[in-house]
Chains A and B, each alone.
Chain A
């Protein structure tokens, strides 16, 4: 089955701890994205990557970091610098950076206690 997997589904962390969210795709897509969803708000872009070993900041990158060492993987680290980390995090991918249709993973609900 081709698709995007995110793990874990639910994640709890103590305030001040860094946490890394996993995103893996086997769709052979070049581009990958991380979004954050908060209640009553749309999806906001955190980081995106058009190709391996390259990534750009989205609209709300502060307090987050990413890496893109492999085509299939785009992990997101939520650092202690992120002031409001509790949210629903969504990873997506698209065939190339010029293709607008993005395919989303199931999401990770992060709760910081």
Chain B
């Protein structure tokens, strides 16, 4: 029962272009969403988050959009840089619970020159 899904296992984007990573969820109780970036053999690092009371959150080159009715969120990276090449995980949680995160399976982003 995959409650958080990232249906694209990989994505290749040219440097300078926009990268769009998608995530869908099934549990309507989720009200807080996060994106993490992970390099091989390292722990994930937190990128950006969004609460369900918002539909957009922006931090520099990273913007997360949330569509609650569609149970869909996306991460936009503009402009994409070679250093952005990594695996990106979306995660979801229910505020006020034990802060348990449910992760998607990840999307590997390759930014090419």
Contact = CB atoms under 8 A, between A and B. Distances in A.
Say which size band chain A's interface belongs to.
Answer: 20 to 34
Say which size band chain B's interface belongs to.
Answer: 20 to 34
B78 to A, nearest CB: 23
Contacts of B101: 43, 45, 100, 102
Interface string B88-113: 01010101111111011110000000
A106 interface: yes
A40 interface: yes
A107 interface: yes
A90 B41 CA distance: 10
Interface stretch (A12-20, A65-73, A79-87, A91-99): A91-99
B36 to A, nearest CB: 8
A42 B103 contact: yes
A100 B45 CA distance: 13
Contacts of A106: 41-43
A31 B99 contact: yes
B91 to A, nearest CB: 8
B98 A100 contact: no
A57 to B, nearest CB: 11
Interface string B5-39: 01001000000000000000000000010101000
A92 B104 CA distance: 17
B89 A94 contact: no
A102 B95 contact: no
Contacts of A62: none
